[in-house]
Each structure stands twice: as C-alpha cells, then as structure tokens.
Structure 1
C-alpha cells in the first residue's frame, strides 16, 4: 500500500528545482532505468540461448524467475521508504554492477566451469529483486517532488516505465547487439544505469542526503562506472581467452555477424572446425558422413536442378556437384558471412572443393522460409541443411508451412527433398536415424519420414542428435536405385524380402553394408 501522507509532508520546498522540473526528471530516470532493466533481461535470454541452447526454455526460466523476484523486491523496498533517496541510489548502483557484468560472468562460467545454468538463475533472481524495489521508492520520490494523488502518480510512473521498456526492447536487437555485441552492450547499459540513478539522487534529492550518505553514493557510483569501464577496455582480451577455453588454442577466425557468431578453428583442412553460435557445425574429420548421407539418397533420379537450403559452407553443394548431369545448384544461406568464408578461407574452401568457383552454383543471401515464399522456380531435388529445431529462430524451418513451401518448389515429376533428422531412441548406437516426432515434426515431415528409405550412418562429430536424413519422393518419381554414398548397391521395387533392418544377409540376394534395408518392399538389382 502507498502511504499518501508521504506526498504531503515537506512538500517541494526543500528541492533545488521547481516541482514540474523535478517531476520530469524523476520520470526521465524511470524511463532510463526501465530501458536498462529490459536490456538486462533480454541479454540474459539471448546469452543463455547461445550458451545452453533451447531458447524457449531459457526465456521461460529467466522471465518467470525475474517476475517472481520483482515481487520479492517490492516487498523488501517497504523497509527503505523512510530513506527513499539514498535507498534508490544504492539500488541503482547495485543493479548497474550486477546487470552490466552478468554477461561476462555467465560467459566465464560457461567457458571455464562448463556450466552456466546456476549463474543464469542467480542473476535473474538478483536483477529481478533490484528492479522490483525501484517502483515503490520512485513512488515515494515522485510524491516528494510534486503533491499528487496516488492514482495519478502510479499512472505517470507506469507510463514512463512501459515506454522505457519499449525503447530498451527495441534498442537491444537493433542497436546494442549489432553495434556493441552482447558483452560490451551489457557493460554500456550498466554504466548508463548507474549514471542516471546517481545523477537523479545526487542532484534533485541532494538536500535529503546526509554528508555521509552523499559520500557513500558518490563513491558507489564512481566505483561501479570505473569497474564497468575497465571491463569494457579488457573485453576483447576476455573474449579471446574465453574462446580459447571453449574452442581450444587454434581459433583462426571469430566474427559476430548480424545473424550469429562464426568461429573457425584448426590450422588446415584436416583439422578444420566450424562453429555457429558455439555449436559445432562442421568437423573436417568426419563431415563426409553427414553430407553424403544427406545428399546422395536424393540424387538417384532427376537431378538437373537442385536447391540447397542452408549449407552456406558449400559441403552439401560439393556432394551435389559430383554429378555431371546437374545443371544448376542454388544455395540459400541466411548469413552472407558463412558463404564469404566458404569462398575465401583456404581451409574451408579446400574442404568444399572450391564449389563457389563452379559456374553451375548460385548463392543467395536470404532466409529460406521467406525466399521460398517468393520463388517461383521448380527443382528436381531440394536439400535442407538447416540449423537444429531446438533453436527458436529455426523452428519455422521444421513447420507444416515450410514443408508445404518445399512441396510447391519440387518438380511435379521426380522431385525429392532431404532434410536433417534426429536420432530416435533405440537399442544401441547402430539403430536407424529418423526424424524426431514433436512440435517441430509436422504431419508432412512424419509422412515423408515414413515414405523414405532410412539411412543409418555413424553420427558425425558435433551431431549428438542431428545428422541423419529424411526424404520424400513426390508422385511419379523414379524408383530408388543407383549407387549410394558408400558404394552400396541400389534397390528397385520387386518381390518381398524377408530380411529385417540390421541383418547381414538377405533372403533374395547379398546384403547392403549395414543390412538389406528394403523393409519388405524390394529385391536386389
């Protein structure tokens, strides 16, 4: 409850500014603090999604813990209302220090301890408590500035708070992240937060402070700003050390694009590693297992026009261009930095066979979903080499709508699409790879996975779950036949075979490398 007598005691006589000016300055501080608070919140969600993955879960944890903590902070702030000015100044200094350094500490715990979940919950709780304590104290301060009824004061405070949250929410993805990055952006936000809170209390409410309180606030805010400025100066060295702790000491390229962080490790094409947002995407040691299994099953049939969605590293296109009768390959990659590295980096371009020099290949920098909606061409083969659906931005690429767009892009006769799949729990490591059924596996995906022959390569490095292939053949397509990526014999429709998956012999002929795989619908050629 708000004690309305606070606004009637003392009035505005002791303030160094006019009531209207003081009210404006308090609301401006509310605006800045709200913007900074939302930036801390978004920064925790973004960094947790990058470090831990599963952005939906991380956002739920951060938001729920923070909102709960804000309620606790509001209750605790009741004890500070008698010293609202100094209490607000100290709270803002603590919030600036904790919120500004949260990204550094979270990244450090991930790099050197290998675990950041506990730090994430701790920062969400601490930041939420401090943000929740702001409003009761600001309510007391604004009534101290200008005599106003409680309802009008609450309306003004929440209006400034919500507008500030809007500005902070838009500034984070469009200004702070692309211009400063996550670590420097959080440090800069903390410095602004400390400056705004300290300036309001030390100027507008300086007559309410004792000399000891004034010295304490000056020392606290200057110390916080100095710590954040020092951390900003050393952030490049910190990032370099953290990357070496995460990726090893052979980091050659580390760049934060407008889409993701791209890291290349290894000294040559034999030791190359490509990481996107901290996740191993390509390992030169065994990437062929994944890309051969992804591409070659779909290439047994009409293949003059091929569309590769994702795959800016050029490795899927390398397998496609092994076929001389392929006339055109279109690669749609959302991050131009990946295709630029695939062209110019000696190790990566050597690994992909310099495919971007092939005149048959055309690279398009666009989001696959948006591009498919606008494209009107038809392709014999569509290959999806896309990020894992556990990342929120990629879930639309595993939706019923996306598969519908892929179906429209396929040629009426002979069209295939192949996409990433996830290991379904089964007995032993040699079981078949199939798409995991869940929210991201819609009806077209389930239908396609049942229609396609399963492929069971050994999981490539960095693909603990993803790395298999699912395919769907449109009506009128030619039969599954020809030589596969391991030199195995193809299969054509015919009399049933009694062999089951994983067997070493077939009732009607020799077995494939890991079993017949005909599932009772084929015979050997």
Structure 2
C-alpha cells in the first residue's frame, strides 16, 4: 500500500458522525440552490445581452445538463479525497458563479457579444455542480460498513430530496429576491458568497475530522481569498456596471433603470435625448417627430374620439394623439411602470406631459392580457407602438392571435397603425407583420418613411373589412413638422429590391417573426 493510497483510505474511511449528516444534507440543499441560481443567472444574461431566444435558452439548459454529467464523470478519480475535493469544488464554484454575471456583462460591453463566454461559463459551472453529488454520496457513506442495497437507496433518496429542495429554493430566490433587489451582478456575487459560507461550514465543522491540517489551512486561505474577491465586487458592483454600461453608448448616460422587465437607459448629448430599452434605440429627440407623426396621424384620419395606444410608454404617441382636436379619450396600455415614470419625469418636456393629461387613462398591464379581457370597448383608432419582436415574449405581440384580439376592440371602420420595423434592413420581418395583420382579418396598407436615427422605417395602416384603407390625413389634423399628404402618399411606394413579400403569418405556435429578426440585415 502506497502512502497516497493510505491517505485516500483514511480520508474516506473516517466515519461521518450521524449528527453531522443532517447538517451535511442541509449544506447539500444550499449548494443545490446556488447551483440553480447560477444557471438562472446565465439564462437571465442570455436574455438581456444576446436576445435569449428559444435556441439560446435550449443551448444553455442542454449544455448545463450535459456538463452535469461530465462533472460527475470527471470527479471519479478524486473520490478517494472526497472531503478535500468537495471543499475545493465549492470554493471554485463560489468564485466562478459569483463572477459569472460581471464577466459576461463586461465582455459584452467591450466586444459587443458574449455568446462564447456564455457557453464556456455554462460548461464550467455545470461541470462543477455535477461533481457535487458523487462527492457528497461518497462523504455520506464514508466509514459505513455493511451497507446494503436498501440502505444505499435510502441514502440516495435523502441526497436527492435535499438536492431538489435546494433547487426549488434557488428557483424562487433568484426571480423574487436577488434579481429585483440586488440585480444581476450583485445577485450572482451574493450567491457566490453563500456558496463560500456553505463551503466554510462544511470544511470547518462537518468534515474537520476528514481533512488534514494542511488541507484545512489551504481551504481557509482559499476561502478568505475568494471572499475578498467577491467582497470587492459587491462594493464596486455599481462602478463596474456604470463603466461597462457607458461603453455601450456613444453619448453620456443621464438616467439608467433596471426594471422587472428590461434595462432602461437615457443618454443625452448636445440636446439630443435618446431612449434605449435593453440596448435597443427607441427614439432620438432630434428626429422622433418623423417616426411619431408617421405612426400616429394616419390612424386619426377619420377624426376619432376614443383612441387606444398599446405600448408607447415614452408618451410620444400620446402627445401626437392629443394634438388632434377630435380626441376625447385615450387609453394607454404599457407593461413597464418604470417607463411610465420616466415619461412623467425625465421625458416630460419632450412628450408635453401627455400622460398627465386628464383625457389619458394609463393602464399598466401586458397588452396581450389586457386585450383578452371581455370589456365591450370600441375604439375609433388604435396605435400599436411596440419594441421590435426580437424575443419570443415580444413576438407574441406581432402574432395572428394578438391582431385578432386587437380587431375585437375596434369600432366599425376603426383604423389601426402598427410600427413594423425596417423594410430595408429587416424586410422579411416587415412583410411578415403585414401578412400577419392580413391573416387576422385586417386589410393592411404598408408604408415607410426615412427616420435618420433608424434609417428606412416601416409601418402598416389597417382596418377590418374587404378593402385596405387609403393613406391620408384628416382635414382637422394639426400642423405637422414632417408629415403632409404628399409625403404620406409617397410613403406607400416601395422599390423593386424591397417590394412586397407573400409570407405565412407569425403565430403563437410558430413565432416566425422572431427568427426573421434574428437573421438581421438582408443583403
């Protein structure tokens, strides 16, 4: 017998006290909670940094599960030193998981993408989490003699129960506690700290007899170093986030909010105020009148009294609607209360305090959910001002089902306008929107204008019935800075290289428009 073999047997052969096993199972639950939080951190970052569609989510989930299996296999040679290996794995996992969010965020801000780092992080964290169960099983059986099949089964049942209970805890803590209260960077770092505390408890109390003095000293030094790294991150997280975020924007950031739904950033330079949602430009104050006038006023051609605005939480569409003399009531449905608050404060000068007008009823709700409620409401005009459908969540707002619900709240002859993206940069997505409106029984008239901040930008004017509506403005329309009857008529003409496409509609079952957006710019 070699010295190393004897040491290994001593490490695994020292019985774990019976009273320590419940505490070790509790540590299992804590570690499992941390492991699931790390996976949710990756999924959250996937959504906020790289779009997080079905494919991206599937890659992370499948990759994480595959890495769990790889970790279980890779740890087999170290089971002879289960106690020391388990403590080492937890320390490395605490540091890697705690730094995952800031690493991905900074990578994205410097290089514009973090997909490769995201996949590497998925593999590393999955391997470390996968190593835990074999190590814990070894520790729980250490020193036990004569264990039979039933005893092994009971032990495995206890281990799985603790593991799954911890996973449930992590799945609840991330979305309801850590993410809203601490954010992604601090939330991941705090989880790493919890992981380190669990490792310290296990090393210092539960496995003290199974660790040599040298191993305990090494574990203590590593834990202190790891805690110091995460402690610095917790203190400086705000500075890191601000610095990294500013690299994403060419102009100085004057307001930044992380809401429950998205990251909201406002920049300003030389009087040009710009709003970004999850990094995507929503408007530039120097030319937003072109976009807003083109979106709103064709829907008001029949002098509506009651107008519904879906989205448009910045208040700019409401501002234009309220300028029309026939309007008596506006219902504004916006998902994110943080955007509404911004519209009433930082953006109030730009939208003329439209959301505080007594004619405007602001409803904070999901537009799809709001339309499903039976209300018997009939609107003379509807303006749909939603972000581009580059995620499945947004894609449902460009579906046949959504437009079908929309037609149900239109008064007879009522008009609808929809922002539909760029017919030049994303022509398939643009014409898919037109086809989807048609599939819901709304006859659509496509049109487009030039908005310098966006380029060639497209819309669709639609109504229920047998014939598509003509592009025109009401004789009562207020004086506009950009749009006039001649410009509007010309906007209905498309060049041959970006002409109409007959496409299947986008539906909830097949959100084709999301893939259209992911394909990006056409040649």
Compute the TM-score of the two structures, normalised by the length of structure 2.
0.83
Establish whether residue 487 from structure 1 lines up as the match of residue 484 from structure 2.
yes
Alignment check: 8 A CA contact 1:301 1:477 kept = no
Aligned: 1:301 with 2:296: no
Structure 1 residues 128 and 434: CA distance shift in structure 2, 3 A? closer
Equivalent position SS for 2:323: coil
Give the equivalent residue in structure 1 for 2:192.
190
TM-score by length of 1: 0.83
Query: Which residue does the alignment assign to 1:162?
Result: 164
Output one character per residue of 1:284-318: Cα deviation in whole Å (capped at 9) or x when no partner: 23223322222222222252111001111011112
Alignment correspondent of 1:456: 448
Alignment CA distance shift 1:423-1:408 (3 Å): same
Query: 1:151 aligns to what?
Result: 153
Q: For 1:3-402, list aligned pairs within 5 A.
A: 14=14, 17=17, 19=18, 21-144=19-142, 149-248=151-250, 250-266=252-268, 270-345=271-346, 348-374=347-373, 375-402=375-402
Q: Is the 8 A contact 1:261 1:277 kept in 2?
A: yes
The answer for unaligned runs of 5 or more in structure 2 is 1-8, 475-481, 501-523
Tell me if the contact between 1:70 and 1:128 (Cα under 8 Å) persists in the aligned partners. yes
| SS of residue paired to 2:458 | strand
Distance 1:244 1:423, change over 3 A: closer
Could you give the per-residue CA deviations for residues 41-74 of structure 1, whole angstroms, max 9, x where no partner exists?
1111111211111432321221122122112111
> How far off is 1:353 after superposition?
2.6
Q: Is the 8 A contact 1:451 1:473 kept in 2?
A: yes
Alpha-carbon contact 2:389-2:398 (below 8 Å) kept: yes
Q: Distance in 2 between matches of 1:11 and 1:251?
A: 56
Distance in structure 2 (CA, Å) of the matches to 1:124 and 1:446: 42
8 A contact 2:89–2:128 mirrored in 1:
yes
Q: Is the 8 A contact 1:434 1:454 kept in 2?
A: no
> Which deviations, in whole Å up to 9, do the C-alpha atoms of 1:67-104 show, x marking residues without a partner?
22112111111011100000000001000000110100
Q: Which moved more, 1:273-282 or 1:447-456?
A: 447-456
Distance in 2 separating the partners of 1:145 and 1:179: 44
Query: What CA distance in whole angstroms lies between the structure 1 residues aligned with 2:123 and 2:434?
Result: 37
CA distance in 1, matches of 2:299, 2:368: 21
Aligned length: 477
Give 5+ residue unaligned stretches, structure 1: 1-8, 493-498, 504-513, 518-525
CA contact 2:11–2:81 (8 Å) conserved in 1:
no
